[in-house]
Structure 1
Amino acid sequence: MVNGILKILLLSALIIMAFTTNGCLESKDPKQIEMDTGDVSVYEFTVPEGNFINSSTFFVYPNKTVRAIYTVVNSPRLEVVVPKDISGLKSEKGPGIDNLVIIDNTGSSTVFSDINKFSNISHNVSYSESRGNKKIQFEFADTINGYVAYTYYWEQGQFYHILSRNGTVNVVLPQGYDTGSMIFGLPKPKPDTKRLDDQNRIWLVWDNPNPEHQFIFVKYYKSSLPTIMGFVGLVILVASLVTAIYFKNEIRKLRKKREIIDKDKE
């Protein structure tokens, strides 16, 4: 009887190990997928003045949407890591991105002046999963000087990016939002530049943070939140002082009454 139970337990353990091992191998094996061409117009492509350089720009929106734009310079491929979607907006199945746009310049120069000089190119997309993150590989039909853009989803109030290559990293906060408060959290690592654009959006810029740093993490909040919290804190402080003074006076009155009662007893 005991031997039979032990055999069943051993068999169950072997089955679980087999499934777990297969799952791990499967998650590390790149899966090639087909993705429809996305809408170029939803992205804010900024053609730099002068030479094209590697950069990654992330436009963060209040509806838990992040739009990523990578510049690719003289390369046949791009590899990125997309963090696990904790917003609950999308299914965990698949690469975790949509609205993919890959465009290349029509000429051979790496100096551009107009986004209309770029056009869609043939490409392959594959992905694998590791520790909940999506590792996505974009293979181009030829070496390109262009853009790779896609949309993914992340929890509001936070931005998290796993660095996979060197280059400038820009994080653009939603209009009316800020970061950098000691109370609500500082960006990690500290950005090299913080500026305001013509749409009153804050740009956080890191100059070549990789390989010194492995990730970028930003907590952002409504610009008015520190003021509101300061006002609430002041109200609580005043209320605490008033309460303390009130109870102090009440205790003093009770002591006096007790002294009077004690004198009457004598």
Structure 2
Amino acid sequence: MKRYFFPMLCVLSLVIFAGGCIDDLVPVDDETTQPELSAYEFETFLTNSYDGDTFIPTHTFYLSRNGSTRVVSIIENETVIDIIPLEDLSTSQNDPVTNIVVLGGLANQTNATQEVFTDLSIMDEASDINYTISDDVISGQKHVFITFEEPITGFVAYTMSTPPGQDFIYITTPPSVVRFVLPEGYTTGNSLIGKVKPSPDEVYYDEMGRENLVWTNEVTTSSFLSMLGNFSPEDEEDIEPVPKLITAKFYTENAPRDLSIAVGILGLIALLVYSRYRHEKKRLENIRKNIEDQVTVPKKKGKD
């Protein structure tokens, strides 16, 4: 038996080596998933996106209840897009950012004009621009970075994984224009059910009947600096933008009416229960009073 051990070991090693070589010879499908342009709306939304000759980054969030939010950003001369994903137990197993689509060009070859953005918005193929995706934890918060080899100008769209439901939170760094597009048939603003904070600068309905909420988030001089009296406009470039939190709770347009009906029904039931309680209490008090009267009335004495 021992004399066969060494030949068998050699044969086994040869099989394993050959198997590895065969695996190397088998073609591997390295084809990456192509970006899906049809998932996004590349609208040339540039309301309040220009401060004189300065372009302000504009971000549109198409909200949904299914655990994902489609984001379309219009940027100028940007190298890195910083994304703060919303995570909980339901999203821990999902990729925080997927289906990245870029419609744009190198910043030194692309002007940030409405005409250029309009031409980019009707492109039928994604631009051939290289980027990398990385993540990091900063101050306990996860960040995802889309980094381009060179600064670009144009549209950058991606799908962000979010907890399912009717709440959305976004941390924005000014200066920027932020727009939330609510799902069709949904609204917000009711103080009892939920609303957005801070209040949007503009609210309107688009062609599809969806409610749009817009915030213009400028870098402004703080009142504290103004009180010091030694602040000059030249110092504005040195101001560190302060992140701002936007929260939104959205619900169906019938929700306030349904809530009013439910409250009315509950109020009516409560009134009926209270009336029944008062009636029973009064009846029991009458019974108790009759019994007490019978006990306290003295019996008449008979004749001797």
Q: What is the TM-score normalised by the length of structure 1? A: 0.76
Change (3 A) 1:48 1:161: closer
How far apart are the structure 1 equivalents of 2:218 and 2:259? 33
Would you say the 8 A contact 1:189–1:213 is kept in 2? no
Would you say the 8 A contact 2:59–2:72 is kept in 1? yes
1:185 to 179, 194, 209: 194
1:140 to 148, 171, 175: 148
Change (3 A) 1:232 1:119: same
- Aligned-pair identity (%): 25
Aligned to 2:172: 163
1:221 to 237, 240, 251: 251
Q: Structure 1: which 5+ runs fail to align?
A: 1-34
Change (3 A) 1:213 1:136: closer
Moved more, 175-184 or 116-125: 116-125
Would you say the 8 A contact 1:36–1:100 is kept in 2? no
2:255 aligned partner, one-letter code: L
2:211 to 199, 202, 212: 202
1:81-96 equivalences under 5 Å are 81-86=83-88, 88-89=90-91, 91=93, 96=96
Q: Deviations over 1:81-122 (max 9, x none)?
A: 323322614516x6x111111221486333323323572312
Aligned to 1:123: 131
Structure whose alpha-carbon radius of gyration is higher: 2
Q: Structure 2: which 5+ runs fail to align?
A: 1-31, 220-240, 298-304
Q: Deviations over 1:119-178 (max 9, x none)?
A: 231222222123664322333233321111111122211111121452100011111111
What is the Cα-based RMSD across aligned positions, in Å? 2.6
Structure 1: which 4+ aligned runs deviate by more than 4 Å? Answer: 48-53
SS of 2:42 mapped into structure 1:
coil
Per-residue deviation at 1:181?
1.4
Would you say the 8 A contact 2:174–2:218 is kept in 1? no
Aligned to 2:261: 231
2:286 aligned partner, one-letter code: K
Aligned to 2:27: none
Would you say the 8 A contact 1:79–1:164 is kept in 2? no
Change (3 A) 1:132 1:44: farther
1:98 aligned partner, one-letter code: T
Aligned to 2:286: 256
Aligned to 2:11: none
Per-residue deviation at 1:53?
4.4
SS of 1:263 mapped into structure 2:
helix
How far apart are the structure 2 equivalents of 1:243 and 1:128? 58
Per-residue deviation at 1:199?
1.1
1:6-25 equivalences under 5 Å are none
Change (3 A) 1:258 1:230: same
Change (3 A) 1:261 1:78: same
Would you say the 8 A contact 1:160–1:218 is kept in 2? yes
Would you say the 8 A contact 1:87–1:154 is kept in 2? no
Aligned to 1:43: 40
Aligned to 2:160: 152
Q: When the two structures are aligned, how many residues end up with a matched partner?
A: 229
Aligned to 1:23: none
Would you say the 8 A contact 2:64–2:166 is kept in 1? no
How far apart are the structure 2 equivalents of 1:188 and 1:61? 18
Q: What is the TM-score normalised by the length of structure 2? A: 0.67
